[in-house]
Each structure stands twice: as C-alpha cells, then as structure tokens.
Structure 1
Amino acid sequence: MDQAFQVIDDVMKTYVSREDVPNRWLIHQTLATAAIRRAVLRALPIRAGMRVLDIGCGFGALTFDIAALYAVQLTGIDRSSTALAVAKRVEHDLRNAGAIAAGCAIEWKTGDAEALPLPDNDADVAVSRFLFQHLTNPNAAVREIFRVLKPGGFTCLIDADDALSLEYPVDPVAAEVKDALSRLQQTNGGDRHMGRKLASLLAGAGLSVVQTFVVPQAHYAETPSRLARLTLLEQLRERRAGLIETGIISQASYEALARRLQQEPEQPQFSMHAEVAVIAKKPA
C-alpha cells in the first residue's frame, strides 16, 4: 500500500500550486502529517464491504487513504461545497492513477457535523480528523455520530492538542502568528486543547472507549525549508479579516507579520507535534 500512498501524495502535490484551489495550506498540512494519519489508520477496525464515513473530510486526505486500503463504501462529508469540488477532482486523478482499491465506492455530501445528512444506524465506521477543535458544539457532533452508527459500529476521532507540540529554538515570528491564529480560533468557539477531551466526549455520548493513543512526529532541520513559513502566511492571509475585526491584531500588525514571514530567515530547529486518537464503539 505504500505505493498507493505515494501516488496520493504525488497527486496532492500537483494541487499546491493551483490558483483555483482555496485554502492550499490544508494541502501542505495534509502532506506534512501524512505519516501520523496513516499510523492511526492502520489501527482502525475497517474491513471490505463496510460503510465508512469521513466527517469534515475537507479535500479528502483521510478518505483517500482509506480508499487506497479497503474495498468499502465511503462517504466524505464536509460543509464546504468548494472543498468537496476539489476532492472530486482529486478522486478523478487518483482513480486514473490506480490508487483507489478495486471495489471502493466514494460519494461526497455537503453537510454539517452537528446535523449529519444521513439516516439512523447507517454506518459501520465513522472517522473524523482535525475537525472537533473547530466545532462550537462538539457534544452535538458526537451525538450525531452515535445516531448514524450501526449498533456495534466504531468511530475514531483524531485531533491535535497544543500541549503536545514543542519547538526549539522557538521561531519568534511563527510563534506570534500561531498565537494570533489560536486566539481567533478560540474567539470563534474552537478549542486548541481538544485532543485531551475526545475520550470524555465519546463516553459522555454513550459510546464505549476502546483505545486511546498518541502518535508523535519529530523533525530536526539544519536548513529549514520555506514550506512551514509559507503555510503560515497562507493561513494569516486567509484569516486577515477575522483577525482585524476581532481586534486580535491591527492592520499595521498584520502587514508587519506578513512581511516578516516572507523576509526574515529561519534558523535550524527541532520540532515535535503529536495527535490524539480515540477509538470508541456504539453498544450492540
């Protein structure tokens, strides 16, 4: 399957430079965190013929990894029709490249995690990655997962927790941008410490927690690439209006940060980031 994953990464890379693809920093993130995503994927109880949901699928990173491994019925759900349009294009490219498992069917649905466009007892497995940190009502989303799972069905939630990230030496420019983006996310009802809360959310909705684990990824770069800075710059530009309107930064501060991200040199750095994954089961 490593060959299929390489094809997925190669196809995703072709979308990084496309001007008609919004939020391209998500593709950078998809490529940078592929190893963690796939390590979690191999722990999931997925078998051929199952009905599998990817909630908050975005451009389809996790959807396509599952599609490369299993002949299942996949549904990618996201509230952004624009993201789903890109996912459909990527799917077309991947099928042409032979990276989708024979017998795997994929459909894409526009929908909200807190009101899934699916009937009760519909799916064998539901997965969601990097979604719950953005939700204003994560309890409602977990109740929806419980509703759409078949009795005995499994879910796996994966998310970050800022306490599991560290860097040395700290890049002061990147740190200032990350702090501003984190404050905006919190202002909008998000939670940068969601990873530690996933198990409690699932248990509180009536699901039995089967497994919890943390998957780390560490890296040391003597000659850092510009990719991390450029990804931050894209995020900063995307959230410019929100940052200024909420008073988190001023217009002058925004312009200074954007300029520094582009101009100031990066230093050698060690970084470590980890994701929390929780697998839970709906009672039979």
Structure 2
Amino acid sequence: RVIFNIVNFSKTKSLYRDGMAPMVKSTSRPKWQRLPPKNVYYYRCPDHRKNYVMSFAFCFDREEDIYQFAYCYPYTYTRFQHYLDSLQKRNMDYFFREQLGQSVQQRQLDLLTITSPDNLREGAEQKVVFITGRVHPGETPSSFVCQGIIDFLVSQHPIARVLREYLVFKIAPMLNPDGVYLGNYRCSLMGFDLNRHWLDPSPWVHPTLHGVKQLIVQMYNDPSSTSFNRDAVKAGTGRRFLGGLLDHTSYCYTLEVSFYSYIISGTTAAVPYTEEA
C-alpha cells in the first residue's frame, strides 16, 4: 500500500474535493478506472509554501504488472491520428482532411472540413462554423467532446444531414499536438500557454496558432468589435481575439467541460464521466 503526494497545486477549489479521483490502469487491467474517492485527499500544506497537496492511497496487488496513473481520461496524439485515419478510410464525399501546418516538433496540424460538396463549389456562399480544440494539452475532455461533434456531423442523423447542407464546418481538433504528445498540462513544447498568443503568434514558436489564425484572417478580413470582457488576464485568448477580428455577424464561444462529471437535466446529481459518455 502506497500513498502518493502530488504537491504544489495552487487553487483552493478543486474537483478532488467533490469526488473526483485520479485514473489508473495496468497491463492486466488495461481499461482506465477511477480510484475510490475515499482514498483521495486535497488539502493545504504548510510544508509547501501553503500550496495544496493531492494525496491518494493505492494498493499494488500484482508485482508483474506495470501501472499507469492519469489526472483524467487520457486522449493521446496517436489515438487522434488513428481516429482521423479511420474517418478517411470511409471515403465520405462530405469529409475532407488536410494538413494546415506542422508543430515545432513536426507533428501534423490537421484541419477537417465537413460539408456538402456543393458548398465548396467556386462562388458558393459559405456560412462557416470554425471549431478548435485541445489548445491546453491536459484538457483531455475537449478531445472527447470534439470527437463526439465530428462523429455526429459525419453521421446519417437527419439533423447532421441538414447541417452539412447549409453550413461548412472547419475543425482543428488539436491545436497543441506537441504538448499533448509530451504530456504537458497547459503549455506547448517551448513552455508557452498558446491560448494567450492569438494576438501575434510566431510562425516558428507558435506555428499551429499561426496557421489557424492565417486561415481565419483569410476567410474573414473585416474588423469588428466584441462584447467579450476586457480583462487583461484574458488578452490573447482565442475567444477574445476572434471576437475582435470577426464582424458583427460572427459569434465566438468557449465551451468548457468538466474534468469529472456532468449534471443530469432537471436534477443536481453529478454523474462521473466514462470514456463512452
């Protein structure tokens, strides 16, 4: 039986105080499982400059096994590439994949276009929905949500068919592939929080942001204003920059997803996520 102490958390509020627990899997039990919440503690520690510590107890029961632990359900760069490869093999005439650029370590920046081929004819009027995800590598729920969006949009659901008929969906599902591959929580390979560098991304330090920004500027080149707050801390975020760049007919949203659970409609019951739902 071992007690792990993960130190130097800075936030008073944490889902680890609301029932969230780290994930574990092993070679003989390869499916990710949550540890029992009763074995997890989150507390302020005077030995760490009054920062917070997350401690959890775990019993190793098979000496020959290799065990892995995770903050939340992982979603790797490799998994993402396999997923896109499987979509391409379906040869759907309304799904297009291209490489918009490369990361610092030469990983692909994938751009997906989902729409009826008629909408891509020269001269066709386009109403575009532009979706980006995984700018912060540790926010793995965004990849599960993004995959769910893609799965729906390429499906034969009647609503998906109508959406493809009237809209062009441009999706860059993984803006920080180096950070994802390396297991970073928030930053890129070179230590930058990419969601603070939309204003002036460098083509060699922030190449994925630079590529996406160039595409958006090319598609929409009209200056406008935004009702998003002017908090200096948020300067350079995607929502703030794009809201200021696009004209008054455009809308920018950030969809934030819990690391732990969702609320059933009409109740206050928190249901922990699984990989399937």
TM-score by length of 1: 0.26
Greater fraction of residues in helix: 1
TM-score, normalised to structure 2, is 0.27
Q: Which has the larger radius of gyration?
A: 2
